[in-house]
Amino acid sequence: MASALFTPLTLPNGSTLPNRIGKSAMAENMAAQGQLPDEHFVRLYQRFADGGAGLIVTGNVMVDDNGVSTAGDVVLTKNSPIAPFQAWANAAKSKGAQVWMQINHPGRQAMAGLGKNTFAPSAIGLELGKHSKLFVKPRAMSEQEIANTITRFAETAQAAEQAGFSGVQIHAAHGYLISQFLSPLSNQRSDQWGGSIENRARFLLAIVAAIRAVVSPGFTVAVKINSADFQRGGFDESDALAVVEMLNGTAVDLVELSGGSYESPTLFSGEAKDNRTLAREAYFLEFAAKIAKVAKMPLMTTGGIRRLAVAEAVLEEGIAVAGIATALALNPNLPNEWKNGQAIDGKAITLSFKDKTLRGLAQLIIVQRHLQRLGKGKPAGVALNPIWTLVSGQIRDKYLINRYKKWISSQ
């Protein structure tokens, strides 16, 4: 019997996903000169398209030249050339999948080496112990900077539609700027943007409204939020439920549930909250099933899914789309293999670093290295030496940082 994963899904805006497998966002960290996508992005996303996922979400694209998390981030503003983005979108859509550009601003989650004067909801830096110095200490945003950033999200979404993307996913998870507004730990404002969850969610809701005002009705607008930050006193499951209920009143077509941040790298480190098999491979499913009972839009959950049976269990819990990330970086053809009756397991990355922060960052860098290899046309899923990958990644980052600084100074 055919798996329910390969049935179509019609979204609230009337557009359709050809199946229920979503390639979730993974930061590629491979922008070309000018922070633009190039032929490596085209080749990478052609491989995802050929692999058979019904939804392809890009790695995060930043909405501000001055607001990047790493020097390898792609940036799309109203002044960016559109042609490189059109080539990217065309490759990703070539086999019928919808492709959504994940749009983002890092806020305080910007690497210190970039030398930028970073802003955030409040002047509170990341607390990573001895690793805190890796990130910039931010200053609190002014009202004008909040308004300008909302406008930038809308302008980037409009440009994404012009480039041929099927939609955008607003990144409000994993400790980036919108997530910083949502968390009472990073947002300690006393004005209309802080305090109650209604105030902390105001920034996200304003961005959704601004985007919907400038894109066409058939253009998908999705949101990615944390089910929780897994930090005492932070954004928790009751906050996430309240945010989804607020999004019920907007024209949002899908909500993806994830979790964690650099300060609590549950997702990044490949670890679940407990050791049960299903929890290890679908970290946020238990909470997603609760949200599904109140959400008016379809849900997607991502975090550790790599087996066909687990992906099917996600749908059985009332979740519309099973989001897969690392397993597709290691084998982009996994959806087609499942569709063709091969119930093979996706691969995972297992690291033994005792330092949780280092392990989480290493996980990200290794996944990025796999994506970069795919973009160069190299075989998928080969074993990589973690230490050498980290060392070579640091060397590469120094080159990218110098290139970014030269580019931004010329703007």
The predicted pLDDT at position 247 comes to: 98
pTM for this model (two decimals): 0.95
Instruction: Work out the percent of the chain whose per-residue pLDDT is above 90.
Output: 77
Spell out the domains of the chain, with CATH numbers in brackets.
Answer: 4-409 (3.20.20.70)
Beta-strand runs (E) in 241-357: 254-258, 299-302, 321-324
Q: How far is CA 293 from the centre of its chain?
A: 24
* Cα gap 365→268, rounded to integer Å: 10
CB atoms within 10 A of CB 62: 27
From 322, 384, 383, 377, select the one nearest 50 (Cα to Cα).
377
CA–CA distance from 32 to each of 18, 75, 180, 274, 408 (Å)?
31, 10, 28, 40, 14
- Mean pLDDT: which of 123-132, 246-255, 283-292, 348-357 is highest? 246-255
85: Cα within 13 Å, side-chain hemisphere? 30
The amino acid sitting at 11 is L
- Which residue would you say has higher pLDDT here, 213 or 263? 213
Q: How confident is the model at residue 228 (pLDDT cuts 50, 70, 90)?
A: low
Residue 260 gets the label, from left (phi > 0), alpha (psi -120 to 50) or beta, of: left
The predicted pLDDT at position 267 comes to: 47
Cα dihedral angle (53, 310, 361, 257), rounded to 10 degrees?
A: 80
* Cα gap 218→138, rounded to integer Å: 37
Q: For residue range 62-80, list pLDDT tens digits in order.
A: 999 999 999 999 999 999 9
* Cα gap 371→329, rounded to integer Å: 6
* Cα gap 59→121, rounded to integer Å: 23
* Cα gap 221→80, rounded to integer Å: 21
Q: For residue range 22-39, list pLDDT tens digits in order.
A: 999 999 999 999 999 999
